[in-house]
Structure 1
Amino acid sequence: MKLKLREKELPPVQLRLVVPAGLKARLDQYVAFVHEGSGREVEAREIAVEMLAQFMESDRQFRRWQRRDQRPALQRSVHGSQRAVQINGEASA
């Protein structure tokens, strides 16, 4: 995977994580790898942010879940009933 470093879009929110030492060592190796390949000084947190973002963007099931969850309530299936509302708003039996 080629990591694409992006410009910041929104004000950052601090998130603190505790990771296993082995994972931190691999992240440090990845920072060195990116630096060697791009000549750019980067920090582990910048790399980690992009890894998380790209991981979530590439997760098809997560994207489907997001689309399903973002539809208006009337477009979702009616729970506890065999009646469903179709996307065009017409009821079906």
Structure 2
Amino acid sequence: MANTIQAKKRIRRNQRRATINRNRISRVRTFIRGVEEAIAGGDKAAATAALKAAQPEIMRGASKGILHKKTASRKISRLAKSVKAMA
């Protein structure tokens, strides 16, 4: 249990940050899922539009620190490759 005032403040701060980060992660995953569902549905136009919407959101997650920069780039690359491979 936190004894000092500063330790109690850090607990409050960490809880606020955890909530914010959880929301950001959820938002990124939602955009990625939208691209994957469009790919699974076979609609190339929808997949391309979803990818264009997802790219800045994924990179925003990387800049905010919820994803590593290279992880974000890899996810975008793989999604783009999947969209491009659609017939």
Report the TM-score when normalising by structure 1: 0.28
With a CA cutoff of 8 Å and minimum separation of 6, indicate the structure with the bigger relative contact order: 2
Would you tell me which structure has more helix in proportion to its own residues? 2
Report the TM-score when normalising by structure 2: 0.29
The structure that has the greater radius of gyration is 1
